[in-house]
Amino acid sequence: MPTRVIMLNGGSSSGKSTLARRLQDLLPEAWLTLGTDTLVDALPGRLRSSHTDGAAGAAGADGTDGIGIADSGEVVTGEEFRRLDEAWARGVAAIVRAGVPVVVDEVFLGGPRSQARWRAALAGTDVLWVGVRCDPEVAAAREAARGDRVGGMARLQAELVHRGVEYDLEVDSGKGTPEDCAAAVAGRVTR
């Protein structure tokens, strides 16, 4: 069975988005790139918060919980976000089942629980599970250079998102170029 999903998991500023774009250039078929940022951007503003107190998450006007980032860089999610995130995974799986291959740019904040959620949604499809690693200091420097992230998020997530997660392949975007990392991943995609 050909690979239909490339699941890239890594912390903020680890190089996943750049890797996904390079993969689109390398792979012969048209692959969509979808990810957690796509979902967050699609949320109504009331479910997104730039900063929280780190305890409650982003509370919407209607009392539902969304997603927020604490001043420390910790991402906090509420019940409504988790419901939408579950539906998002099933929706991405539906795109794959409709015949379109997808590179998923994801951040497994829940470690193995996050992977299990995606495994359930993607059951019956061939998934290449890729860990995108990056030294916390390198990720933090990228985060600072970007200027669009809360400081500390990259350092916090650099190792956290990989704990207990099983991969078919791991790449280190802090040591390899985006082209090298993409070539390694593309080489593992089955036709």
pLDDT at 60: 44
Catalytic residues: 37
Q: The pTM is what?
A: 0.91
Q: Are 2 and 128 in contact (CB under 8 A)?
A: no
Digit-coded pLDDT (tens) for 129-149: 999 999 999 999 999 998 888
Q: Note the Cα 87 to chain centre separation in Å.
A: 15
**Residue carrying structure tokens 């997808």:** 102
According to the model, what pLDDT value does residue 63 have?
A: 43
CB 15 within 8 A of CB 83: no
Three-state DSSP state, 43: coil
From 126, 136, 114, 98, select the one nearest 13 (Cα to Cα).
Answer: 136
pLDDT, the chain, mean: 91
Query: What are the 10-residue block averages of pLDDT along the chain, 191 residues in total?
Result: 96 97 96 96 89 46 72 91 96 98 97 98 98 96 88 94 98 96 96 74
Say if residues 65 and 78 touch (Cβ distance below 8 Å).
Answer: yes
